[in-house]
Amino acid sequence: MIQLVDVTKTFDRFAAVKGANMMVPKGAIYGLLGPNGAGKTTLLKMMAGILRQDRGTITVDGEDVWENVRVKQRLLFLPDFVYFFPHATIRQMADFYEQLYPSFSRGRFTELRSAFSLDVDQKIQQFSKGMQRQAAFWLAFSVQPDVLIMDEPLDGLDAFVRRHVKQLLIEEVAEREMTVVISSHNLRELEDLCDIVGLMAQGTVRMERDLNELRAGMHKIQVAFRGGFPSELAERLDIVHREERGSIVLLVVRGEKRSIEETVSSFAPLILDVLPLSLEEIFVYEMGDVVDVRETVVG
C-alpha cells in the first residue's frame, strides 16, 4: 500500500504540491488525473523518492520512501521523458537493470521480446519516440517491481501499442498484485484501465473515487409519463441532472439501479429505459461542484 499524508513541496516559494493526501491499495491501478501544471509530476517524483517532500509523509507498506534502498529496489519510476544511457542498446540496459534490481527476471525479459518486437542490439537513441517508450515498458515489466509509478506513460504510443501495453499491465497486476500509479491529463485514456481515480488540481488531490463504486452509484434513464413528469417522483429520486426533450425526460440519478427502476416503475411510466453513462459524464455530474472536470481532465 502507498500512503501520502499532508505532502507539500515548494520550489522558490511556489507550492507545487500543497497538503496532498493519497491512498493506493496493494494490487490496485490508481489513475492520477489533472491538467498540465497541476503538480502530478512533482507528486510522483516524491512518491518514487526522487524528490524529498518539505512536509508530510510518504510510505510504501509502512516504510518511508526517501533514501530507503530496500523500498526503492521494489519500486520503479517511469518518467514522462524516458532516459537511457547514450549509445546503449536494450540488451545493455537490461544488463544494467539486472544489477540494479534484485527482482529483474531474465526469463521475463526473454518472454516479452516477442511482445515488443524491438531489436535488442540496436541503439535505443535510434528508435522513434514510441519505440523508446516501448523499450521502457519492456524493461519495466522485466524488473517485476512491486510498485510501478508512471508519468504520462502512454504518450507517443499508437492506438494498437497502447492497447497492447494496457493489456500487459493488467496481466502483471492480476498475476503479481503489482501496485500501479499512472498519471494522465486525459480521463478517456485511463477509464478502461484504473480501479481508482484521483483528481489533482492546483497542487492538491481534490478527490479519490473507486470507479466501480462510481459506476454503480449513478445511472442515466429516459422516461415518459401520461400527463407529464410526476412531481412526487422527483422528490423520491436523487436527481443530479434533468433534461427534457419534448415528452421524454432524461435523468441522471444517484442510487442503486434496481431501486431506481422500482421507484420509477411504481408511477407507471410509458417509457423507462436505462442508458449507458460514460465515466466522463459521471465525473462531470459527480465532481462539477468541486472542479471544472471538463476543463481539467476531458478537454
pLDDT in the model for residue 220: 96
pLDDT at 37 over 70: yes
Do 287 and 33 form a contact (C-beta atoms < 8 A)?
no
Residue 111, all three cell numbers = 518472454
pLDDT of residue 292: 55
Task: Show the cell assigned to 125.
Answer: 537513441
pLDDT band at 298 (very low <50, low <70, confident <90, very high): low
pLDDT value at 8 more than 80: yes
Q: What is the mean pLDDT of residues 143-149?
A: 98
Of 26, 65, 63, nearest to 44 (Cα)? 65
Measured N-to-C along each axis, helices 90-100 and 129-143 cross at an angle, to the nearest 10 degrees, of 30
Strand order in the sheet with 248-254: 238-245, 248-254, 218-224, 271-275
CB 145 within 8 A of CB 156: no
Residue-level pLDDT at 296 = 54
Pairing of strands 218-224, 271-275: antiparallel
pLDDT in tens, 196-218: 999 898 899 988 989 888 888 99
Cβ burial of 151 (10 Å; 0-12, 13-18, 19+) is buried
% residues pLDDT > 70 (the chain): 96
pTM for this entry: 0.86
Mean pLDDT of the region 177-198: 90
Collapsed DSSP state (helix, strand, coil) of residue 221: strand
CA distances from 282 to 23, 201, 203, 213, 298 (A): 22, 18, 23, 11, 12
Q: How confident is the model at residue 177 (pLDDT cuts 50, 70, 90)?
A: very high
Residues of the chain with pLDDT > 90: what percent? 79
Q: What is the pLDDT of residues 85-115, one digit of tens each?
A: 999 999 999 999 999 999 999 999 999 999 9
pLDDT, the chain, mean: 92
**Complete domains list, the chain, with CATH:** 2-211 (3.40.50.300), 217-298 (3.30.70)
Q: Read off the DSSP letter of residue 295.
A: I
* pLDDT in the model for residue 282: 82
Output the CA–CA distances (angstroms, integers) from residue 5 to 23, 62, 236, in the order listed.
Answer: 9, 12, 39
